[in-house]
Amino acid sequence: MKKLKNVLLIDDSESDNFYHARKIKKMGISDNIHICYSGHEALEYLKSELDGKHPQPTLIFLDINMPGMNGWEFLEEYEKLTVSQQGEVVLTMLSNSIDERDKSRAMEFKSVHGFYNKPLNEDYLKTIIDTYLKKYLT
């Protein structure tokens, strides 16, 4: 079974990142998981990725509440990047928020493919893979 080249986790919580990374690895989706602790850092990472320094992430998990640039601000900036416009990247929200309004606000962004509550579990991951990423894994 093929694996995704790169998965990006954008979250300020170290323990969550570790847990999510472990889940992704355990499910055999990807071995290459990059972690950014803020929206700003993630933007920098994605911009540098365009210069070919590292493989482009196929799947991104984005938290909302982060110090500095939060999830919303990141989305505003992210949609200006060409990488988002290629429609290749699957970005899903992964947050604490159970608020319906946060969910509908998130779904208004073209680049957002899903809205999930922490913690990331196997059902979520399977759904994402089955819906968007089958072609990379078979």
Residues of this chain that bind other proteins (CB under 8 A)? 13, 15-16, 19, 22, 96-101, 118-119
Nearer Cβ to other proteins, position 48 or 121? Answer: 121
What amino acid is encoded at 76 in this protein? E
Quick check: bond before 55 cis, omega within 30?
no
Least separation, in Å, of the C-beta of 100 and other proteins?
Answer: 5
- Residue owning tokens 């992210």: 78
Query: Shortest Cβ distance from residue 118 to other proteins (Å)?
Result: 6
- Dihedral sign for Cα atoms in the order 135, 84, 49, 69: negative
**Residue (21 or 46) nearer to other proteins, CB:** 21
CB of 130 to other proteins, least distance (A): 20
Which residue, 101 or 135, has its beta carbon nearer to other proteins?
A: 101
CA 108 to chain CA centroid, Å, is 16
- In 3-state terms the chain splits into helix, strand, coil percentages (rounded to 5) of 45, 20, 35
Q: Which is nearer to other proteins, 44 or 99 (CB)?
A: 99
In the complex, minimum distance from the CB of residue 83 to other proteins, in angstroms, rounded to a whole number: 30
* Cβ–Cβ < 8 Å for 89, 57: yes
Number of H helices, E strands in the chain: 7, 5
